[in-house]
Amino acid sequence: MKNILITGGAGFIGSNFVRYLLQTDPDVRIINLDALTYAGSLENLRDLPDPDRHDFIRGDICDQQLVRRLLEEREIELVVHFAAESHVDRSILGPGEFIRTNIQGTFTLLEALRHYRRSSPGRDVHFHHISTDEVYGSLEKGEPAFTESTPLAPSSPYAASKAASDHLVRAYFQTYGLPVTITNCSNNYGPYQFPEKLIPLMILNARSGRALPIYGDGQQIRDWLYVEDHCQAIWKVIQRSRPGETYNVGGGNQPTNLEIVREICATLDELLPDSEYLPHFGLVEHVEDRPGHDRRYAVDISKITRELGWKPQTSLQQGLRDTVVWYLEHPDWIAGISAKGEYQSWVEENYQKRDRQ
């Protein structure tokens, strides 16, 4: 049985990876470390496949004593690091927590691994770091997609904190020889995503007849990656790549935000023909753009395709439809998340107080 420590495994991508791993590999045991901040929830871990191979521990990745104890007592062989503050808008309003979690937290994990390696010769724990394409900055129309050699040029406090953590991970490989790998992913979407992000926010607002707030002209371009495809890519990198390697992971598409919202609304129109809010796209409301909003992201996935044979399996249209269906079929999960006072106050602070255009 291989013992795997997953940080942030009660969050969106982390919980999907927990499910994927329990379904995919019967020889793993997962130790799931999560602080259960606003976006992490035990609701995301209900009805896991083979739950006896999953142990949840509530704790902070900045607690080095806790991390070192888990490494030693659970004889960890692999760390998959999802835990992060990840919303650009929140980083603009309060960057301090992003510095603490994304930089200090990653540093704490790396230090714990360095000491564990030194005290337990022969136990080289593989550290896989989940990062983002936002560390590369913004692209203009027509510019080539980000590659793994694109210089880091983050625009937001969130992206800067992730770029710093990427540098730390590479430094611990170069300086201490820790076996590390990194994946820089594009925008993820799918089940269990906290509804502050674009796709679930649009689904839930449209279903309830609330305004669909679109930043600026809505022509920002993103690459969208279905979360299960991302999980497959992570596991393939962990199993097959060399230490020290970095891979970009994307969905191979570049729609505008407005096109994403239009597709979501068309799907809702089809699935909810008796809705009093038809057509749902009529709920769109353009609001003041956020500061320093990157115009375009695009990732080149040729390296991971060429070297590891991975490419996304889910088309954007199918992934969006599956995501809309999931949210419509899980009202209990939505009710639990929406009931959090912190979520309601955040939506009001970030969207309702913005100037309408």
- Would you say 5 and 74 are in contact if contact means Cβ atoms under 8 Å apart? yes
φ, ψ dihedrals at 50, nearest 5°: 50, 60
Active site (annotated) includes residue 277: no
Active site (annotated) includes residue 263: no
Q: Determine the Cα–Cα distance for residues 58 and 35; give it in Å rounded to an integer.
A: 5
341's CB contacts (< 8 A; 6+ apart) are none
Q: Which of 134, 223, 228, 263 is catalytic?
A: 134
Which class for 228: exposed (0-12), middle (13-18), buried (19 or more C-beta within 10 A)? buried
What totals of helices (H) and strands (E) does the chain contain, helices first? Answer: 13, 11
107's CB contacts (< 8 A; 6+ apart) are 165, 168
Q: Which of 20, 116, 158, 215 is catalytic?
A: 158
171's CB contacts (< 8 A; 6+ apart) are none
Q: Which of 133, 196, 263, 294 is catalytic?
A: 133
DSSP 336-352: HHHT-HHHHHHHIIIII
Place of tokens 């919980």: 15
Helix axes 257-271, 316-328, angle to 10 degrees: 50
Active site (annotated) includes residue 270: no
* Burial state string for 18-47 with b = 16 or more CB within 10 A and e = fewer than 16: bbbbbeeeeebbbbbbbbebebbbebbbee
Point out the residues that are catalytic: 133-134, 158
